[in-house]
A = this chain, B = another copy of it.
Amino acid sequence: MASIEAFEDHCWKDVMSADDIKLYSPYARETFVGPDVAFLAIDLYNKAYQGGPGRPVDLDPQYPNSCGMFAHRAIEPTKKLFAAVRRAGIPVFYCTQDSRPQNRPKGAVSTRRYEKSANPTDHGIYHEFTPEPTDVIIYKQRASIFQGTPFLSHLNLLGIRSLIVCGESTSGCVRASTVDAYSNGFHVSIVEECTFDRSEHIHKVNLFDLHHKYVDVMHVEEVVAHLDGLAAKRPALQAAE
């Protein structure tokens, strides 16, 4: 939870002009994690980390779509976030690309980038964030996790009303998924330090857009604190069951 005064205390400060900040001031509000929350890890697949923590512009010829240094910078905070999610025991969803044979006609792809066919391991989940057996993995063909998948019906079935979101890319799958989540009636918290893109400028402008219009961009320590509050209530809940 962050106060209305802290609404602009985020990474976009150095790329947004004073006029733009002023123009968007009517969006300022307290931010928080919503009720009945689930955790969503977007596209934490191997491809995003390939080539190590270099600059994406240097890595791209050999490792297309690698987020390089931005992916690797997010590993430690994302591990902390996952640990808190596990302590809190909330439902966990992952998504990644659908790579099953015969799953689509030619052209049904996430973006219009020309891509060679993927290596089978490209879209496996990165080893630091291996799913647990009770987690659900959504396989998607488009940018948004809601597009052409059963994710929305799963959220309804579980009574989920809010999401904590991390992953990549901010301007692609994270943006498309979180706009859909908001427009479908969910409260969304994006964890800033655990979200990344291939371009820092594009990352920041997209987080700015999302924060003002649709979601609460929050810092990892705020979200971890909230999750630890949920974890503290678990024994009582479980005893009551």
A residues contacting B by CB (< 8 A) are: 16-17, 19-20, 22-23, 26-27, 29, 35-36, 55-57, 60, 64, 91, 98, 100, 102-105, 107-108, 111-115, 131, 133, 135-137, 139, 141-144, 147-159, 161, 171-172, 176, 179-180, 182-186, 198-199, 201-202, 205-206, 208-209, 212-214
Contact (Cβ within 8 A) B159 A148: no
With known contacts A112-B213, A113-B213, A179-B176, A102–B147 Cβ distance under 8 A: no
CB distance from A110 to the nearest CB of B (A): 8
> Closest B-chain residue to A150, C-beta based?
B148
Partner of A150, one of B35, B141, B151: B141
Contact (Cβ within 8 A) A156 B184: yes
- From A156, A185, A202, residue with most partner B Cβ within 10 Å: A185
Closest CB pairs A-B (n = 7): A156-B185, A148-B150, A157-B185, A142-B183, A111-B213, A153-B185, A205-B205
Partner of A113, one of B27, B91, B161, B180: B27
User: A105-B136, A153-B183 are known contacts; what are 11 more A-B pairs with Cβ within 8 Å?
Assistant: A20-B199, A29-B112, A35-B159, A100-B100, A108-B150, A111-B212, A141-B150, A147-B183, A156-B184, A159-B159, A202-B208
CB distance from A101 to the nearest CB of B (A): 8
CB distance from A11 to the nearest CB of B (A): 15
Contact (Cβ within 8 A) A147 B157: no
Contact (Cβ within 8 A) A156 B156: yes
Contact (Cβ within 8 A) A108 B147: no
